[in-house]
Each structure stands twice: as C-alpha cells, then as structure tokens.
Structure 1
Amino acid sequence: MDKRLLIIDDDLKLVELLKEYLGGYAFQVHSLPDGSGVLEALRTELPDIVILDIMLPREDGLEILRKIRTQSAIPVIMLTAKGEDSDRIVGLELGADDYLPKPFNPRELLARIKAVLRRVKAEGSGLAAGVEPEATVPVIQQQRRQTLNTMAILLAQNPGEFTLAHGSLTGKVIPPEIPVGLPSALLDRRPDVRRTEADLVAANADIGRAKAAMFPTIALTANGGYTSQHLSTLITPASSFYNLSATVLTPIFRGGALWGDYQRTKARHEELLNSYHQVIITTFREVEDNLEAIRRQGQRERIKTLEVAQAEKAYRISDLRYRQGLTDYIRVLDADRTLHTSRNDLVQARLDRLNALVALYRALGGGFGNSQEARQSPGGEAKPEKTAPLPLSANDERQPLVKEKYPDAF
C-alpha cells in the first residue's frame, strides 16, 4: 500500500521536484505552503510522515512542530537550510524524528524517510506484542471462573462460592501413579458400554417376543400336570380349532407379518451386536492412546526440564558478563526471553501430560478404581479371573483379550 507524505514548505519548485521523485517510490505526496492548515491536513489526508521546513511565512516550522505534537505523534523530518548544531538540537528536542539540512541529496532524504517509517513500524509492533499477552489475562481468568463453576455444579455446591487454592504447574504437582495390571473389567463402568449392553439385552428380548407371537395361545397342560382340555379336543369337530377359532388362526393368517417381525428383531440384534463390538474396540483404543500420550508427554516434560536448566545457566552467565562489562545488555535480554520461553514450554508440556491423565481417567469409566474390588463379588468372595490385565503396551494382542472378555461380540 502506498505511503502518504505531507510536505510543508514554501519553496514550490522544491516541492514539485520532491513530488515527482518520491512519487516514483510509491509515495502519495500532499503539500502545504505554510502551517495554517496543518492540523486539518492531518485529519483529512492521514499522512504517514511529515517533511517540515523551519523558515516558513506566518509562523516558523518549530511552532508548527509544537502544534503537531499537541495533536499527533506522527513522525516528522525537519528539512531546512538552518543546519547549525543548535538548530538540530532544538528541532530534535521539540519532537522531530530526524533532521536533514539543505542542500541535500534526494536519495538521502528517501533513505531517512524509510528508516523513520521502519522504526515507527517496529515500535508499534513491539507495543502490540507487549499489550497482547496482557490482553489475554482477562480471557484466561474468565475461562478459569467458568471451569470452577462447572466443577461446583458437579460437586453440588454453589458456583459463586466455590474456590480452589491457587497453585502453579511448576510446583510439586504429582499425578496419581497408574497401577500395574488394571483389569479390563473396569471398562464395564463406561456409560457407552453399559448403554450398548442394555440395548443388546433389549434386542434379545424382542427376538423372544417375536418368536412367541408365531405360536397359538392354548394351554398344553391342566392342573396336576395332566393333559389340558384344550389340547385333547384340539382336532375334534366340536373344537374351537376345527371351527376356525380366531385365536388359532390369527398366527396362520398373520404368519408372514410375524415372520417378518421376527427377522427384523434378529437383524436389529445383529446390528447392536456389531455396535457393541465397535464400542469395545474403541474403548481399548482410547485407553491405549491415552497411555501412550502420558508416556510421550512425560518424556517431553523431562526434556523441557533440562532445557529450562540450560536456559537458566545461560541467563546467569550473560548477566555476569554484562556486570563485568564484557557484553551488552541485549545479550542479557535475549537470554532472559529464551528462559521465559523455555519455562512456558515446560508448563505446557506438564499440562499436556495431566490432560492425557484426565483423558485416561475418563476412558476407564471413572478412574483406576480398586483392582481387588473389581475382581470380587458383592459377597466378598473372589470371582474367577476371566479377564486379562488391561494392556499397557502397543505390542499386546487386542483380539484374544476382547474375545475373552466379550465372546458374544464375535
């Protein structure tokens, strides 16, 4: 995008030359012969930089500079025939960003304009970079409050009064140790597993209902185990069957519909069986994924811990060299920035590991539980061990374990 430039100079020939020269470098040049309309030009033209002469009619350039500085921080380059050191000092002290005496080389003026604009851009980027982290603080505080409100509801407490002690992830955060040999029976607590199991049981009952509907409703035995009167007279001329009773003929005339309903319930059962199988496989995959994430994030956390230690050592060395006059303060600032970046990375790695641990807790249906309780019946006697320990490695075989725990799913 073209840069806008405002020239305030009463030398019209010089202004025309600068318009032609700077226009060739993508500058849109606007000019004023004096400072009478400078503030209005700043509002309407929106220049990116001002070239200002000192010796102007009505009021000199220094007064115009004071007027500009009361309204704007726009960069100003003084371009004037007054090139004494005292004039330079006064102009810079009044707020000029640069000072170039006449006569001058147009290429030097162009170079100074670009340098000033680069500096202004860098200062603006640095200010935005400094404000941006501070602007994220209210957002993070809002997210924390919302998380606390959610926890309060889960714990049946008043959200407005629920608080947690402040802590740091860089402190002694010790997550619970994952027990060895967790039984796969823990997965029975998962809501999705229970739901699919209940759907499968209901579908199995529907099959029995549909099958029973295909038989006539007659009694086969009487009191004491003797033959029922209905059965002994079933094929006699006076029997209700011989007279085409609706009770017996209904399954005959509706046989196709009843058979179709029976096939439908069997297909539904097969569908739920496949869904049940898919849920079990997904459950084991989620557990394995989170176990692997915990392991890898733990390795990453250990590496980041070493990086922080090295960054702290580098900062101490840089600070010591600066205090002894062996280096400039820029090196100290660079080491300090590297240290803070390393600490942030360490906190993020620790957070990722804890998130993976929470995900494993959820994948197991509510935590690690007590393996002994999972293997005992309500009466306190140990159940026969029918399930293998929950696999903790990607090298463990999945299929035999699933078949052993859920044989009906195959």
Structure 2
Amino acid sequence: MSKQTYLLIFSALTVIPYNANSNNGNWSQVPIFNEAPLETVLWSDGSPIDPDMWAAILWNDGVNNRLDVVNIPPPYDGTGLSSTPLENTANLFALGSPCTDGTNVVVPYIKNFNVEVARYNGSSWSKSTLPDTVTNNFDNTHCAATQDGFFIGTHDLTDGETEIFKSNNGGASYTFYGRYNSSGPFDGAIREPLASNWGQRYIRSVFQQSNGMIRSCRFDTAPHTLTPSCVNIEQQTPPGGFTFVRESAGGFNGQGITFTYNSNGTAKALTFNEQDLINFQNDVLGPVNNNGSQFSFQGSTIITVLDENNKPMQNHVLWGDYYYIDTSTPFPPPPSIDNNYPVAGVGGPIDGCVVRQKQGHRITDRGFFVAPRVGPDGTVLYKRTLRSDPIFADGFESGNTAAWSSTCP
C-alpha cells in the first residue's frame, strides 16, 4: 500500500483520546501456538495501521530446542495464523531482537555457540551463519537498525567482548564493524540489548564488564567503523558465573532510549534523552522473580505510549509485574503496577509491541504481548487498549511512519 493510500485512511478516521487517569484498557488473549515458549520476540511489518505481526518462538520438544515463526494477521483474533519451522537442534538459545527495513526481516540467535541469522525477504525464510562467529563461542545476540543498515551485536564468550556486525543490503551479508570489552550471560553478567533511533542514526547498548560495572555505550552508525561513547551506570559485584540469564530489553521511546535490566535481582528502567550522551535516569521498579509459578526465569520487555508530538507519556516495563512509568511531567510519581496483569508471577519470556488498529471509524493504540499461556502448555497473544493522543501532529500526515514503526521493530 502506498503512503498516499495511508493518508486517505488517516483522513477518514479519528483516534480515541488518551485518558491520563486510566491505566488503560481491559486485557484479552488469544492462543497462537500450542507449545510453551522458552524465548520469544514479536515484531510488525511497519504498516501504520493494522500491520501483520510475527512472533518467533523458541521451544523444547523434550529432546531438542526448536524455533518457529508465527504470522499473526489482523484483526489479531487467532484467525489466519500460519507457522513456519526454522530450527530443530539441541544447542539453540539466545533468541535476539529482530530488525526490519520494511521489506527484509532478520532474527538473530545462537546455534551451536555461533551466531545464526534467520532472514525473511518478503516471501520466504532463509538461514545463514555469520562467518566471523564460527571459531569462538558466543552467548548473546541482538539486532538494531538505522538508515545505515542492520547491526547485529553479539557477545564473544571466548574473547570477552561485544562484537558488532553490519549489513547494508537488508541482511544478505555482513561485515565486521567493531568491538568493545564486555562480559556476557554465561559469565553471569546481564544480557546486552541494542536499541536504535532510525532517524537520528545511532544505537545504544547496556552491558556489564568483568569488574561488575554496568555501562552504556552509544555509537553513531554513519561512520564506517565503530566509535562508541560510553558512560558508567552503576557498580555491582563482579559476575560470578552462570546460574540463569539476567535478562534485559530496550527500545526507542520517542525522544531517546529506555532500557530495563536485572540489577542483581532488582528490575531497573534506564532512560537516556535524545542528544544527551552521559546523563540518564535509572528508576528502581521492583524485584525480579526467578521462581515463577511456571518458569524458573523471568524475561522482560518495554513499550512506550506516545503523544501527538511523538513525545513519550508512559513507559510500560514488563517483568513478573507490569510497571507504568509516567514520562509526561518533570516530577513524575513513583512507578505503579497493573494489578490485572494476566501473567503476573508466572515467569518465562515476554515481548511486546504497540500497534495502531482500526476499530470501526476509530484508530486505537493497542499493546500486544507474546508470553506463556497460564496453566497448560501454549503461547498466547495478550492484548490491551492503550488510548493514545491524536496522531496527526507527529508527521504521519506527511507519510512519515518511521517514528511509530520503531516502537514495534
């Protein structure tokens, strides 16, 4: 569909206004996969209204770990689902955040301690191993995209460093971009996410060093080599070896980057403003429960509710609890909790997206989350209304959908 067609759709629709006193709509859910997820990531095709969504689900069949991709078309009610199997092998883990440029999608993960990349070219899936990762052992990977291409970050367990690989052809091939020292999940350190601003052409990460220091690095993606600018966040005890993965998540929040990470059993939300290289806000959310009713580990995700000027009003940070962080005032109240969160205390993986959905003559901002089914095996798409402000001032009237699509990679 052309941008001009999108403009006609927007001109005929209205948007449900945001209610600042409402911590948002009722929950609903629909099963999308019959097996329980060990890891999952969720993304959309970037269309501004009613996009197709996909969930990559890593699960175990009792012998091997397996990886399937489920297509979730609108109206997201469980009809029209289709599944594509990608992997079936023992050493399969660390499913990473995806990248998309509107046509191509790449989903990185670790297979036999190498970095594997599943790529969708708009019609079919293919798989390849990053050639530079076949010698050493790797234990983490994520992808982030800007106008300059796809950037896959991975932790080299052998050499104790983060390595970045770049693709400028939609994930068809990659070249080495740069490195910096870090510890990874199998060292007992936090899992390092990547988050990007497509338009401003930069990527930021948060990671841990061998001395225990939590750091964040930012690098512009226009140069041909990696030149990170890094800042210390907090000192922790040095990583003491692997017990469970200390998860994390990150994303563009409308005017900067927000991360969440497991700070020695406490969930924190770390936010950087757009042009600020060194100053940050690090909110304490609450305990991370690694002894859930169904899983002995806890994943995390972040979504952001934006106003009509593309500025964040709320960050929603999900662990074993669902936290609301008010970002619309200079002196916000402490984070609050959604007492109706359907997977509270369950444990396991979760990933989320914000999608604009047409409902009659209205457009509604909705949060979608892929997580375990409560009770029996299975993977569920959890849904809720977010009620954002009108969208017409954020550039959509000119056809610029990049800012919005980046909230759901």
- What TM-score do the two structures reach when normalised by structure 1? 0.14
Of Structure 1 and Structure 2, which has the larger fraction of its residues in strand?
A: 2
Of Structure 1 and Structure 2, which has the larger fraction of its residues in helix?
A: 1
Point out the structure with max Rg over C-alpha.
Answer: 1
Greater length-normalized contact order (CA 8 Å, ≥ 6 residues apart)? 2
